[in-house]
């Protein structure tokens, strides 16, 4: 049986005031009784922000200024996530938390909440869970899900297939990075050509022993940073456990004959400052580790000698210093970029062939999406493209038929994740009446969602009724955080005591 995952509860705290939203099995409707701009889309995005996703602020709502607590049901377990800015904690029970720093450990958060094993599925799962009001109704197989969060159908298929093409994907990512770096250096080389020849030195031959020594040093530095990061992460968790232990003792301090104050982590002297400093330190170390990894990748590529004219060093400043010493023309860099693009195209072709020919996941997706297109009456649009699910001809599809295609593809991704990961994700749709959809096609869409996702949790945000009797309805009248309640104990709020 698939692992049913559902959002159960979302708490949003602004200072000492909090608002709770409850979700249930089946069809959940968020509506505003015909009013626009009251917070429906903001609430949907708040759910994903609380899940750790890099959601952008709206005009009226600044996410980092609020604290979020979310309860997700994962089978028989309840996962509790708490987000404050870039700090994320997942409850382990008994007042123990696993701590993460965003965005560096985002995929670890995704895996913990939803139960994914594959990194590629964790990076691309949102396309099978969320259709966003702005970007979502244009995304078929490559592009942005929401707020710049990327999606690629090949990566999802590979993750669901057991990461068979992972080496090719990593090589493509490395080539993407190098192409961008070479483009930057090419621009600098173009400027250099405008200078006098006397200002350009002779090209120095690469010193591979020095490069190997530098690579060894970088790995040592990177490993030392990782050990230190692990140590700080452990200290953060231990501090949180200690604070929880103090709170559970139920200690109270008598301030005056009539006033007693409960001892909590909020009034433990220096506790929040100490934890805040540790989180900032951990974030800086993770950023340094990421930078070291990039330097290591560059040096490994240089030592390997993969037909590169010269190796871009650890930063643009280093590149500029090398260019100042080398007599290299812009056209030389342009040829290098062309060569790298050819290599990238070849690896993409290899990956596409590996994933498209005899791949069970790709075949399942193609068959499932084709079936949905037939039910929506747009099978001619789907079958007219020989590329099928891997189509690049997105500009040929527009208007209502494009919206129906989007729904068919996105339902297909949800079904593929269920089949090959054994996980039923919530299916969340923001403003399904967006664009040029007419009433008949809208009803056809809603009917398909209900029929194909029977037994799943569905969340739809709409300005009004959607023709479906909801199991739960959240009505926003004036603003999202209306009717908030006062919170006098943050520790209890984290335990879900306020609603």
So what's the pLDDT on residue 42?
94
* 132, 22 Cβ separation under 8 angstroms: no
* 458, 411 Cβ separation under 8 angstroms: no
The angle subtended at Cα 141 by Cα 443 and Cα 148, nearest 5°, is 95
* Closest by CA position to 246, among listed 265, 261, 274, 269: 265
Give the C-alpha separation, 105 to 254, whole Å: 42
CB-side neighbour CA atoms (13 Å) of 168: 20
Residue 355's pLDDT band, with cuts at 50, 70 and 90, is: confident
Residue 359 has pLDDT above 70, yes or no: yes
So what's the pLDDT on residue 65?
94
* 324, 257 Cβ separation under 8 angstroms: no
* 129, 47 Cβ separation under 8 angstroms: no
Helix (H) or strand (E) holding 127: none
Cβ count within 10 A of residue 341: 14
So what's the pLDDT on residue 68?
97
Radius of gyration for the alpha carbons in the chain, expressed in angstroms and rounded: 26
* Closest by CA position to 229, among listed 288, 293, 273: 288
CB-side neighbour CA atoms (13 Å) of 89: 23
Give the C-alpha separation, 189 to 362, whole Å: 44
Residue 202 has pLDDT above 50, yes or no: no
Arithmetic mean of pLDDT, 126-134? 91
Average pLDDT, the chain: 84
Largest CA distance in the chain: 86
So what's the pLDDT on residue 289?
87
The angle subtended at Cα 416 by Cα 373 and Cα 134, nearest 5°, is 65
Compute CA distances 102 → 66, 115, 176, whole Å.
Answer: 16, 18, 23
CB-side neighbour CA atoms (13 Å) of 26: 6
* Closest by CA position to 134, among listed 51, 38, 42, 52: 42
Give the C-alpha separation, 101 to 114, whole Å: 18
Highest mean pLDDT among 5-14, 138-147, 341-350: 5-14
Give the pair of three-digit tokens for residue 233: 């992460």
Give the tens place of pLDDT for each residue, 25-64: 999 999 987 777 788 999 999 999 999 999 999 888 999 9
Least confident of 144-158, 186-200, 372-386: 186-200
Q: Any idea what DSSP says for residue 66? A: S
Compute CA distances 297 → 155, 219, 222, 344, whole Å.
Answer: 21, 11, 12, 17
Give the pair of three-digit tokens for residue 15: 């200072």
- Three-state DSSP class for residue 473: strand
Give the tens place of pLDDT for each residue, 138-164: 888 999 999 889 999 999 999 999 988
So what's the pLDDT on residue 85?
93
The angle subtended at Cα 367 by Cα 379 and Cα 355, nearest 5°, is 120
Global confidence as pTM: 0.73
Give the pair of three-digit tokens for residue 458: 């569905």
* 415, 452 Cβ separation under 8 angstroms: yes
User: How far, rounded to the nearest angstrom, does the alpha carbon of residue 417 sit from its chain's CA centroid?
Assistant: 16
* 369, 448 Cβ separation under 8 angstroms: no
């Amino acid at each position: 049986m698939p692992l049913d995952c559902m959002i159960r509860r979302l708490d949003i705290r602004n200072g000492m005031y909090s608002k709770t939203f409850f979700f249930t099995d089946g069809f959940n409707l968020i509506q505003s009784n015909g009013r626009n701009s009251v917070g429906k889309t903001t609430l949907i995005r708040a759910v994903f922000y609380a899940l750790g996703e890099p959601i952008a602020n709206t005009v009226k709502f600044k996410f980092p200024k609020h604290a979020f607590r979310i309860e997700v049901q994962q089978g028989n377990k309840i996962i509790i996530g708490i987000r404050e800015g870039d700090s994320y904690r997942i409850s382990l029970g008994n007042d123990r938390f696993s701590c993460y720093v965003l965005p560096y450990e985002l995929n670890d958060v995704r895996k913990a909440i939803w139960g994914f094993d594959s990194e590629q599925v964790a990076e691309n799962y949102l396309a099978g869970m969320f259709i966003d009001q702005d970007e979502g109704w244009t995304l078929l197989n490559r592009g942005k899900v929401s707020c710049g969060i990327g999606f690629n159908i090949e990566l999802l298929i590979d993750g669901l297939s057991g990461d068979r093409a992972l080496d090719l994907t990593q090589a493509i990512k490395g080539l993407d990075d190098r192409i961008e770096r070479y483009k930057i250096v090419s621009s600098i080389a173009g400027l250099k050509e405008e200078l006098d020849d006397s200002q350009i030195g002779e090209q120095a031959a690469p010193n591979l022993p020095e490069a190997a020594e530098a690579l060894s040093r970088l790995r040592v530095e990177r490993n030392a940073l990782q050990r230190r990061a692990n140590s700080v992460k452990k200290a953060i968790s231990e501090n949180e456990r200690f604070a929880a232990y103090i709170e559970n003792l139920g200690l109270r301090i008598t301030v005056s004959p009539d006033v007693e104050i409960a001892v909590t982590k909020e009034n433990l002297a220096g506790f929040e400052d100490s934890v805040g400093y540790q989180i900032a330190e951990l974030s800086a170390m993770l950023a340094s580790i990421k930078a070291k990894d990039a330097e290591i990748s560059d040096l490994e590529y240089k030592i390997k000698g993969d037909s590169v004219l010269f190796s871009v060093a650890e930063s643009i400043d280093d590149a500029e210093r090398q260019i100042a010493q080398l007599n290299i023309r812009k056209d030389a860099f342009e040829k290098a970029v062309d060569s790298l693009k050819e290599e990238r195209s070849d690896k993409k072709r290899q990956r596409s062939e590996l994933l498209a020919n005899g791949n069970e996941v790709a075949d399942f997706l193609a068959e499932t999406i084709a079936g949905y297109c037939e039910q929506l009456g747009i099978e001619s649009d789907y079958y007219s493209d020989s590329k099928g699910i891997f189509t690049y001809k997105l500009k040929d599809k527009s208007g209502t038929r494009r919206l129906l295609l989007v729904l068919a593809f996105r339902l297909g991704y949800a079904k593929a994740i269920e089949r090959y990961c054994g996980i039923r994700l919530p299916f969340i749709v923001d403003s399904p009446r967006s664009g040029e959809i007419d009433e008949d096609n809208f009803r056809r869409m809603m009917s398909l969602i209900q029929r194909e996702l029977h037994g799943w949790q569905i969340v739809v945000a709409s300005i009004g009724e959607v023709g479906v009797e909801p199991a739960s309805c959240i009505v926003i009248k004036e603003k999202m955080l209306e009717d908030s309640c006062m919170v006098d104990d943050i520790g209890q709020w984290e335990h879900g005591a306020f609603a």
